[in-house]
Amino acid sequence: MATTSALRIHHPELDLGLPPAPAKFVCPASPKEHTTLRTSKGVEKKRFVQIKDACHIMGGCDQGVMRGIIRTGLIYAFKATERSDSWFKIDSVGVYLYRENQRRRAIGQPPTQQWLDYSAWMKKLNAADPEVMGPPPVPQ
């Protein structure tokens, strides 16, 4: 299994071991709401992907590393069904923003406003008494 140091992940939450899972994640209100995105080139993409797709977006990281990132509550994810063996659906927007934030931190640049907005939403969602519900909004 790959380690987080091999991927140069610089979040203190990961350096100290895995914290407990954050407060419950909230599934989108309906399956058709906010489930697809249109890229700047007009290509339609799924917003919520499986863990293998999220690992691919991250550049081929190990699934254990991706699960660790999800457990920190930095990226929105939810279980596809109520069953205990259900797969996670992961917000591809969060994965892209996280990857870009890691790249920027590695070269000494500040985070983008999109990452700051996404992080603020996730902090509110993962609070003991969540102020927000559902996935972080994506600017159109």
Whole-Å CA distances, 28 to 78, 89, 95, 128: 9, 11, 17, 20
Q: Regarding predicted confidence, which is higher, 112 or 7?
A: 112
The mean of the pLDDT values for the chain is 76
For the chain, which residues make up each domain, given as ranges?
35-125
Contact 127, 82 (CB under 8 A): no
Q: Say whether pLDDT at 46 is over 90.
A: no
